[in-house]
């Protein structure tokens, strides 16, 4: 760990040597004192003087490891079709409890027609150079100190990176940090959104240098309290941040029993290999990235439509689903996460409206099982199936908005989407079922339900597979009928 007292001890010793030496005159001491005072004033934060000195010496070689693979078992290329089930005797009207709850009204927040602009500090105007950032359809203007425009030598080493930190520590960076906070709150950004915004700002300040972009993001994220760090090899600087959640297919190294992921904001991946990083932490920077999506993205003015149709009970149903490309572009920056984070995420208002209202109208008067079967058939047959490897060339879990946008989806995408519909429309508890190479769901009905089920936390969850075409609640895909799945619980 960084010893923050070393510099003070050294300066104190030097002070005693100068004061006690008869060979030094009062004028020499005064000149030294003024130099030291001026030097200290150059740093806006006392921690930066000592951290800069620390960065000049305390580096060591580390090994960037290949990202963790989530599920190596390949998914089925073609989904099976369930055999029709024999019809059950129709119960009398008074035996069918109508327990469907309509979805809560979706409140749509209009998107501002004017660009989002920084909010001035009371009694003060922002000054400096302007950087115009296009944050997924929202144009934001930042003002920053011209002194941020620092160079970086082609040859990377400890001295070059230490100097870059030192120089940024002396610029007027507080107003820029404040603007980032203001915009982050206005846009309802989570930690990942804040990191992406910081990266987009770095691209405007250093448009031709990926290495300076990484160093700027490191500086800003560290000042914002994140335990970020950098590593370097002969030609590249890597931004590394620990996460509260495991990231997949993202290169990393382990430091102090903590995984630091080589973050990329363009979907790329760093290559494994030897790098150098410093052996310590910036004091007070302790936060890890939290990638959960807890805030509903407001619906904007650029929503696009997709038509979804399916047949059920001898009738064709046609629905309109909406999405926003800017939202899809933001979600596309996300690294791959554990499944529960996709099941647990909030869904943007554009995806909710008008789809939920249309579905809710059709579900009125149905029993729980009838409603679940209706939603199953909707997801099973209105979306086209294709594995991630075929569509993206790699494993790529989708948020519900992305399932609406992309032309194809596979088992986990449909399960996430179906679970969202059941929670929002029927208010029933749902869990994910994680089989080797396949994902389904199970629903906790409040009424008795027949068919296959899993017991979880003392409750019975009936299998509901939104990929097993024409299957109803209680039917397990034959390939997995003798396999015990893992249970994915979420909020």
Domain boundaries along the sequence of the chain: 6-42, 61-67+113-278, 294-488
In this prediction, residues 14-19 reach a mean pLDDT of: 36
Out of 59-73, 209-223, 283-297, pick the least confident. Answer: 59-73
Q: Looking at per-residue confidence, does 172 or 113 come out higher? A: 172
CA dist 311 and 119 (Å) reads 52
Residues contacting residue 30 through CB under 8 Å, at least 6 positions apart = none
Q: Which pLDDT does position 491 carry in this prediction?
A: 78
Spatial contact of 183 and 220, defined as CB atoms under 8 Å apart = no
Q: How many CB atoms lie within 10 A of CB 16?
A: 10
Confidence band, pLDDT 50/70/90 cuts, at residue 416: very high
Given a cut of 80, whether residue 153 has pLDDT beyond it is: yes
Collapsing DSSP to helix, strand or coil, 184 comes out as helix
Indicate whether 1 pLDDT > 60.
no
Please determine, for residue 106, whether its predicted confidence score (pLDDT) is greater than 80.
no
- pLDDT tens across 312-354, in order? 999 999 999 999 999 999 999 999 999 999 999 999 999 998 9
Query: What digits encode the pLDDT tens for the residues 172-203?
Result: 999 999 999 999 999 999 999 999 999 999 99
d(CA 55, CA 40): 17
Q: Alpha-carbon Rg of the chain, whole angstroms?
A: 28
Burial class (CB in 10 A: 0-12, 13-18, 19+), 15: middle
pTM flag (> 0.75): yes
Nearest to 466 by CA among 323, 293, 310: 310
Q: Does residue 111 register a pLDDT over 60?
A: no
How far apart are the C-alpha atoms of 7 and 358, rounded to whole Å?
67
**What local confidence, expressed as pLDDT, does residue 124 receive?**
58
Tokens describing residue 384: 């086209």
Higher pLDDT, 78 or 388: 388
Q: Could you tell me if 285 and 225 are in contact, meaning their C-beta atoms sit under 8 angstroms apart?
A: yes
- Kindly give, in sequence order, each residue whose CB lies less than 8 Å from that of residue 440, ignoring residues fewer than 6 positions away: 411, 415, 432, 433, 463, 464, 465, 466, 467, 468, 476, 477, 480, 485
- Residue 63, strand partner residues: 274
Whether the Cβ atoms of residue 229 and residue 164 lie closer than 8 Å to each other: no
Q: Cα(171)–Cα(331) distance, rounded to whole angstroms?
A: 33
- Regarding predicted confidence, which is higher, 192 or 90? 192
| Cβ neighbours, 10 Å, residue 410 | 26
Segment 414-429 shows an average pLDDT of 97
**For residue 9, what pLDDT band results from cuts at 50, 70 and 90?**
very low
**Closest by CA position to 412, among listed 70, 131, 8, 66:** 70
Q: What is the pLDDT of residue 58?
A: 87
User: What is the tens place of the pLDDT at every residue in 256-285?
Assistant: 899 999 998 876 677 778 999 998 899 999
Q: Is the pLDDT of residue 12 over 60?
A: no
Pick the most confident of 20-29, 96-105, 412-421.
412-421
Mapping DSSP to helix (H, G, I), strand (E, B) and coil, where does residue 336 land?
A: strand
How much is the average pLDDT of 228-239? 94
Q: Residue 391: pLDDT above 70?
A: yes
Concatenated DSSP letters of 236-302: -EEEEE-BSS--BS--EEEETTEEEEE--SSS--PPPEEEEEESS--TT--B-B-----SPPPP-S-
Average pLDDT in the 371-397 region? 93
The residue with greater pLDDT, 368 or 255, is 368
Tell me the C-alpha distance between 218 and 210, whole Å.
Answer: 12
pLDDT of 149 above 90: yes
Give the chain's mean pLDDT: 85
Pairing of strands 408-409, 384-385: parallel
d(CA 118, CA 141): 7
Percent of the chain at pLDDT > 90 equals 67
Assess if CATH 3.40.50 describes domain 294-488.
no
Higher pLDDT, 443 or 235: 443
- Taking the C-alpha atoms of residue 318 and residue 358, their distance in angstroms, rounded to an integer, is 9
Question: How confident is residue 301, by pLDDT bands cut at 50, 70 and 90?
Answer: confident
How far is it, in rounded angstroms, from Cα 319 to Cα 402? 17
What pLDDT is recorded for position 381? 97
Alpha helices in 347-461 (DSSP H): 349-352, 355-363, 368-382, 388-391, 400-405, 411-421
Higher-pLDDT residue of 9, 63: 63
């Amino acid at each position: 760990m960084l010893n923050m007292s070393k510099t003070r001890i050294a300066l104190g010793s030097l002070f005693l040597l100068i004061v006690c030496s008869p060979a030094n005159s009062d004028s020499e001491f005064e000149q030294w004192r003024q130099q030291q005072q001026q030097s200290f004033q150059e740093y806006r934060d006392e921690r930066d003087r000592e951290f800069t000195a620390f960065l000049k010496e305390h580096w060591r070689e580390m090994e960037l490891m290949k990202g963790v693979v989530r599920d190596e078992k390949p998914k089925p290329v073609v989904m099976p079709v369930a055999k029709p089930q024999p019809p059950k005797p129709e119960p009398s009207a008074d035996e069918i409890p109508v327990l469907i709850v309509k979805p809560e009204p979706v409140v749509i927040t209009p998107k501002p027609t004017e660009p989002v602009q920084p909010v001035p500090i009371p009694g003060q105007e922002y000054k400096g150079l302007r950087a115009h950032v296009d944050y997924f359809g929202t144009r934001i203007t930042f003002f920053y100190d011209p002194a941020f425009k620092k160079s970086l030598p082609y040859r990377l080493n400890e001295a070059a990176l230490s100097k870059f930190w030192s120089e940024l520590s002396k610029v007027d960076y507080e107003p820029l940090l404040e603007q980032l906070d203001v915009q982050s709150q206005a846009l309802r950004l989570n930690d990942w959104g804040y990191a992406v915004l910081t990266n987009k700002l770095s691209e405007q300040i250093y448009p031709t240098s990926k290495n300076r972009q990484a160093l700027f993001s490191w500086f800003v994220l560290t000042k914002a309290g994140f335990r970020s760090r950098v590593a370097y090899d002969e030609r590249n600087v890597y931004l590394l941040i620990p996460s509260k959640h495991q990231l997949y297919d993202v290169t990393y190294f382990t430091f102090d029993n903590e995984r630091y992921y080589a973050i990329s904001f363009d979907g790329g991946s760093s290559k494994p290999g030897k790098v150098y990083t410093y052996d310590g932490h910036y004091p007070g920077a302790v936060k890890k990235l939290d990638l959960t999506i807890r805030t509903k993205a407001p619906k904007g003015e650029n929503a696009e439509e997709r038509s979804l149709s399916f047949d059920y009970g001898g009738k064709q149903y046609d629905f309109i689903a909406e999405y926003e490309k800017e939202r899809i572009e933001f979600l596309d920056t996300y690294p791959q996460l554990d499944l529960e984070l996709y099941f647990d995420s909030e869904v943007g208002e554009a995806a909710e409206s008008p789809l939920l209202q249309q579905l809710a109208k059709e579900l009125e008067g149905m029993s729980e099982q009838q409603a679940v079967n209706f939603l199953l058939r909707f997801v099973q047959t209105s979306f086209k199936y294709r594995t991630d490897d075929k569509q993206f060339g790699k494993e790529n879990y989708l948020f519900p908005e992305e399932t609406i946008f992309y032309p194809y989806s596979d088992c986990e995408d449909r399960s996430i989407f179906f679970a969202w519909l059941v929670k929002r429309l029927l208010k029933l508890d749902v869990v994910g079922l994680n089989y080797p190479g396949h994902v389904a769901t199970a629903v906790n009905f409040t009424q008795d339900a027949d068919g296959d089920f899993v017991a979880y936390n003392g409750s019975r969850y009936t299998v509901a597979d939104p990929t097993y075409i024409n299957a109803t609640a209680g039917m397990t895909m034959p390939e997995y009928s003798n396999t015990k799945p893992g249970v994915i619980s979420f909020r």
